[in-house]
């Protein structure tokens, strides 16, 4: 959902999932998470997601 190589999370790709159920609730949750991270309301350990 986020590009880990960016210094700060300023770009989120939302909606690129293919669930077996409803699509809209998943996109809404992704949007809510992205908004919280953009506002720095929650933190993410980017080292955990970095590809080596």
Whether the CA torsion 12, 13, 17, 21 is positive or negative: it is: positive
Instruction: Please classify residue 42 by burial: count the beta carbons closer than 10 Å to its beta carbon, then call 0-12 exposed, 13-18 middle and 19+ buried.
Output: exposed
In a domain? residue 49? yes
In a domain? residue 3? no
Q: Which domain holds residue 48?
A: 23-52
In a domain? residue 38? yes
What distance lies between CA 52 and its chain's CA centroid? 20
In a domain? residue 47? yes
In a domain? residue 5? no
In a domain? residue 11? no
Q: What is the pTM of this model?
A: 0.66
How many domains would you assign to the chain?
1
Per-residue pLDDT of 8-32, as tens digits, reads 778 888 888 888 888 899 999 989 9
Cβ atoms of 4 and 49 within 8 Å: the answer is: yes
């Amino acid at each position: 959902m986020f590009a880990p190589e960016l210094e700060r999370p300023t770009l989120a790709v939302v909606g690129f999932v293919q669930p077996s159920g409803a699509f809209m609730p998943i996109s809404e949750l992704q949007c809510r998470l992205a908004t919280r991270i953009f506002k720095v309301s929650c933190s993410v350990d980017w080292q955990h997601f970095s590809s080596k």
